[in-house]
Structure 1
Amino acid sequence: MRFHAIVLTAAFLIPAAAYASDECEKYRTSYDKTYCMAKLFVESDKELNSTYNELRGKIGAASKEQLKSTQVAWIRHRDNACEAYGTIDVDCNYRVNRERAEYLRDRLRECKAGTCRSDMIVKRSW
């Protein structure tokens, strides 16, 4: 019984991003791996947009404008980090999106708990 509890606990400690990208490693061709990562990227982008919009709904007008400005700067950062010679590194996009979504999700949790800090919401965390 104790062994199963340890295994289950360890399974929850494995980061979702590592699991998801490892999931694509089961494919043999680079086409299939790229397709898998592209699907993960699309899902991470949806999650990021959802979290961003929910956070915007919890903050005041001034913070919304600052958050928008920070998000535009972050998009430039992501594009510069994950694009080279007209090609997009889908795995990079996925990882960077997940990191940003997690940062925004943490800020959203703080706002829901009543400890919303504008300085952290608009911080350039990358």
Structure 2
Amino acid sequence: MVIARATCSGATDGAVSLWRMTGTTVAEPYAGNDLISSYGVPLAWQTAGIGDVNGDGKVDLIWRHAETGDVAVWLMNGSRVTQAPVIAAAVPLAWQIVGVGDIDGDGKADVVWRHMQTGDFR
């Protein structure tokens, strides 16, 4: 489970933390120093999904900027970010990410979009 510090401790610095889970139990809770990113992620960036985007067998984090529509991915190696490219710029805000999964069976996560005004899917 990934948590922005702004929602779990009252701080608003945008730090991102990891809670390691075993099913429904927290195996290693946030302890204040187990940060994926301590430099602060601007609060307009919101986690939109998780999945193995690059097919390396490791879960990556997909982010969406609530004001610009930009989409970025944190390519992960465990709890370490290896790269953080913007993969789509200025996607209209009416399009929302509604799911992430390997839809086409190629071993890489795909993003499912829904237009919140028309109901269209992509």
TM-score interval (norm. to shorter): under 0.3
TM-score under structure 2 length normalisation: 0.22
Flag the structure with larger Rg. Answer: 1
Greater RCO (CA < 8 Å, at least 6 residues apart)? 1
TM-score under structure 1 length normalisation: 0.21
Instruction: Report the structure, 1 or 2, having the larger strand content.
Output: 2
